[in-house]
Amino acid sequence: METLKELRDENFPSDNFKIREATRAIVFDNQGLTPLLFVSKHNYHKIPGGGIEEGEDKMQGLRRELLEETGCEIEVEKEIGQIIEYRSAINFNWHDNLKQTSYCYLGNITNKNNLPSFDKGEIAEGFKLVWFSLEDAIKTLENDKPDNYEGSFIQKRDLTFLKKAKEILEAN
């Protein structure tokens, strides 16, 4: 999978970090809308997805995350790319420095009949499911003003994924 970008915190150490892999997807319903999650506590939007759990492959993790966060079942059609983030514990509320690789995919929603099932952390962050055209999703992320460290990384990462998805779709 093509690496689209590396995001690096200048305080990231050369050793002693946790490795995390995550999957995300830009998917469309039959009206051409894509779901985003609005993190109301910190004023930013993000692409649905999350960490791959032990025993899961990328697709299993992706389908589980999308079902949990959007209530939708999906079909993956293409790879968008991967982004590697280097986040330091100095600037983040975790105990470990983190090297996270996010794999992003493009696809369609095959079943939109369920509601999201946010976990306690997502509820505490004020997650809300919202739907946009791809153009409006890009404009929304461009105009977001995250008020925390994590949100600033997520905004850069997910805006890159959305713009690459637009490029892929326009080439077809």
Say whether pTM exceeds 0.85: yes
The 10s digit of each residue's pLDDT in 93-134 is 556 788 899 999 999 999 998 899 999 999 999 999 999 999
In percent, the amount of the chain with pLDDT more than 70 equals 96
Residue with tokens 């059609």: 77
Structure tokens at 85: 């983030």
Q: At what angle do helices 149-171 and 134-143 cross, to 10 degrees?
A: 150
- Predicted local distance difference test score (pLDDT) of residue 92: 59
- Cβ count near 89 (within 10 Å): 18
- Predicted local distance difference test score (pLDDT) of residue 17: 83
Does 91 score more than 60 pLDDT? no
Does 40 score more than 70 pLDDT? yes
Higher-confidence position of 140 and 149: 140
- Predicted local distance difference test score (pLDDT) of residue 9: 85
Q: Is 69 left (phi over 0), alpha (psi -120 to 50) or beta?
A: alpha
Higher-confidence position of 88 and 127: 127
- Predicted local distance difference test score (pLDDT) of residue 119: 93
Alpha-carbon span 61 to 157, nearest angstrom: 19
Does 90 score more than 70 pLDDT? no
Structure tokens at 23: 């999957």
Residue 149, CA distances (Å) to 6, 35, 48, 137, 145 in order: 16, 23, 19, 21, 11
- Predicted local distance difference test score (pLDDT) of residue 125: 94
**What does pLDDT average to over the chain?**
93
What mean pLDDT is predicted for residues 164-169? 97
Q: Which domains does the chain have, with CATH numbers?
A: 3-171 (3.90.79.10)
- Predicted local distance difference test score (pLDDT) of residue 113: 82
Structure tokens at 34: 């894509």
- Predicted local distance difference test score (pLDDT) of residue 170: 95
- Predicted local distance difference test score (pLDDT) of residue 94: 59
Listed residue (115, 34, 40) closest to 80, CA to CA:
34
